[in-house]
Every structure is written in structure tokens, then in C-alpha cells.
Chain A
Amino acid sequence: MRALSVFSAKGDEFVPPSSVDFVLPPIFENIPFITKPILLVLLSVLLVSLFFSLSARKAAVVPSKFQFAGELVYGFVRKDLGQEILGHDFKRFMPYLFSLFTFILTNNIFGIVPFLQFPSFSRISFAYVLGIITFGVFHYVGIRKQGIKKYVKDIMFMPGVPKPVYILLTPIEIATFLVVRPLTLSLRLFANMFAGHLLLMIFILGGEHLLQGAIAMKAVGFFAFGMGIALTFFEFLVQCLQAYIFTLLTALYIAGGLADEH
């Protein structure tokens, strides 16, 4: 209790981080759209393209370490997300799947890289754009493969149901395919990044604040800092997993469009 009173006597009360902390001010005063997330996305594009073009430029039969690292990532996406899910026709979609995976992964990992420390996908508009692109791709593939009439009919009418029930079911099917699928895809990515960043902010900022307090506070502060470090590793896991899940579901949706049966 005494510690607490000393604490509040200082007059600097702890302000817990909230969603306001995600709205970053523009870097240059007079250009409103250049903010940190935009720059991070551009940096990630640069990094990914540079890394993979360099690692593939001097491709040799006996790979250098650099080439090996590039091929490891590509091989993972190709085998685990391409071949296994899309079957024999997977090569057409590899450029999209691979760039999606590396782009999301790089942007997510920016969340724990020192000095950058902001996952771009905790701004929801970036996640929406990726969701919309995937939405376009898997519907386009489905329509090209089956023809627009059959594709729409397959979506709207589940076989083996008495006719009046379609009034109940058809709106649900349309809502699932046109709204909920891309929405959940982008919301899952956004929510994980947002919550993870918020969690790290709470533990690290709160720990720092506690360390400046009285002696009993300092002990708790150490604990909070330790949790912050442990959660940073946990966040790394979540970030990799989210990039993987986004790409996996994209591949699965494309496979659903390619498959003849519903």
C-alpha cells in the first residue's frame, strides 16, 4: 500500500496501451499517407525480392549457403502448400502462394525485429487487401475451371434438399462464399497481429514503468519483463503460424475451386 502511494505521488500514472497506439502519425508533416506501416510494407517488398533474386542468381548444382536458405523456404512452400494440396496442377499458383507466404512472414516478423517493431498487418486495411486478392483469385480460378453457370449453381444450391428449404439455405451459402470467407481470412491475420503487439506492449511498457517504482515494484517489474521476453518468442511462433495458415487456406480455397465436386 505504501509503495502504491509513493507511486501515485510521483504523478505519472501508467497509461495502458490501447488501440490508439496503433495509429501512428505521418513521418513527414505535409505528406499524410507516408506512415510507418507503409514504409515497412515497402521495405518488406524490397527485402523479399532482393533476398530471393540474389539467392537464385548464381544457382549452382552444389548450392552456396545463401542459395540453400532460399531454396529451403521455396521447397517448403512448394511441397507443403503447393504439391500436397493443389495436386498435379500446382505450378500455376506457386508464384502467388510463394510471394504471399514470404510477404506475410516478413511483415509479421517486423513485429519483433528491434527498432522496427511494428507488425504491418495490425493495421486492418493491409489484411483486407490481401483477403480481397485471394478472394479474386479463388473465384476466378473456379469460374475459369467450371464455367460461371455451373460454379454459381454449385455454390447456391446444395443437392439433395427439398425445394422450399433453399430459401433458408441459399442466402447462407452466398454469404459464406462472398463475405465470410475473405473476411475471416483477413480478420484472423489482423486480430492475431493486433493482439500480439498489444500483449507485448503491455508487458514491456508496464514492466518498464514498474521498474521505476519502489523496491517491491521492481521485483514485479522484473517478472513482467521476463514475461515480455518469453512472449516475444511466443509471438515469433504465432507470426510464422499465421503466415502459414493464411497461405494454407488460400491454397485450400483454390483447390476447392479446382475440384469438380462441391
Chain B
Amino acid sequence: MSKRSDESAIWTILGYLLSGLLFWGGVGYFADRFFNTSYLTLVGILMGMGGGLYLVWLRFGR
């Protein structure tokens, strides 16, 4: 790739983290409302962030 690949990589990283949070956090939030619990949102957020970080490591860290 060109030497501009850094700039796109940074936005890609941000996109991964953001979509991981939003997707799994959203799943956790609606699961919370469905089951009338309160901890699933937190589990979802942590899971999404973990998945996002794992994707970043897979794509840029190896």
C-alpha cells in the first residue's frame, strides 16, 4: 500500500472499536430490556470492546 495507509488505518481502528461497542452494547441493552436484568449491557459493552480490540490486533498487530 501507499504511504497514506496510516491515515486510513487509524480511521479503520476507530470504526472497529465503535461498531463493536455499538453492536454488542446494543444487543446487551435490548437483552436487558427483554429479560428485565441490568448487567447485560455491561457484558455487551465489554464483549464488543474486546472483539474490536481483537480485530485491531488481528489486522494491524500481527
Let me know if B7 and A255 touch, CB within 8 A. Answer: no
Let me know if A158 and B11 touch, CB within 8 A. Answer: no
Contact of B54 with A by CB under 8 A: yes
Q: Among residues 19 to 62 in chain B, which have CB atoms less than 8 Å away from a CB atom of chain A?
A: 19-20, 22-24, 47-48, 50-52, 54-55, 58-59, 62
A-B contact number at CB 8 A: 66
Let me know if A184 and B58 touch, CB within 8 A. Answer: no
Let me know if B58 and A161 touch, CB within 8 A. Answer: yes
CA distance A114 to B25 in the complex (A): 45
Q: How many of B's residues come within 8 Å of A, CB to CB?
A: 28
> In the complex, how many angstroms separate the beta carbon of A145 from the nearest chain B beta carbon?
15
Q: Among residues 97 to 112 in chain A, which have CB atoms less than 8 Å away from a CB atom of chain B?
A: none
CA distance A256 to B5 in the complex (A): 10
Let me know if A175 and B58 touch, CB within 8 A. Answer: no
CA distance A84 to B20 in the complex (A): 31
For A188, give the chain B residue with the smallest CB separation. Answer: B11
Let me know if B23 and A175 touch, CB within 8 A. Answer: yes
Contact of A180 with B by CB under 8 A: yes
**B residues lining the A interface (CB < 8 Å):** 1-5, 7-8, 11-12, 14-16, 18-20, 22-24, 47-48, 50-52, 54-55, 58-59, 62
Residues of B within 8 A of A36 (CB): none
For B8, give the chain A residue with the smallest CB separation. Answer: A252
> In the complex, how many angstroms separate the beta carbon of A260 from the nearest chain B beta carbon?
12
Smallest CB-CB A-B distances: 9 pairs: A175-B19, A252-B8, A180-B19, A180-B15, A176-B19, A172-B20, A168-B51, A176-B15, A175-B23
> In the complex, how many angstroms separate the beta carbon of B35 from the nearest chain A beta carbon?
20
> In the complex, how many angstroms separate the beta carbon of A259 from the nearest chain B beta carbon?
7
Residues of B within 8 A of A84 (CB): 2-4
Let me know if A172 and B8 touch, CB within 8 A. Answer: no
> In the complex, how many angstroms separate the beta carbon of B61 from the nearest chain A beta carbon?
12
- The 0/1 profile, CB within 8 Å of B marked 1, for residues 162-175 of chain A is 00010011011101
Let me know if B19 and A168 touch, CB within 8 A. Answer: no
> In the complex, how many angstroms separate the beta carbon of A103 from the nearest chain B beta carbon?
21
Residues of A within 8 A of B11 (CB): 184, 249
CA distance A255 to B7 in the complex (A): 13
Q: Which of B4, B22, B48 has the most CB of A within 10 A?
A: B4
Q: Which of A173, A181, A262 has the most CB of B within 10 A?
A: A173
Let me know if B2 and A172 touch, CB within 8 A. Answer: no
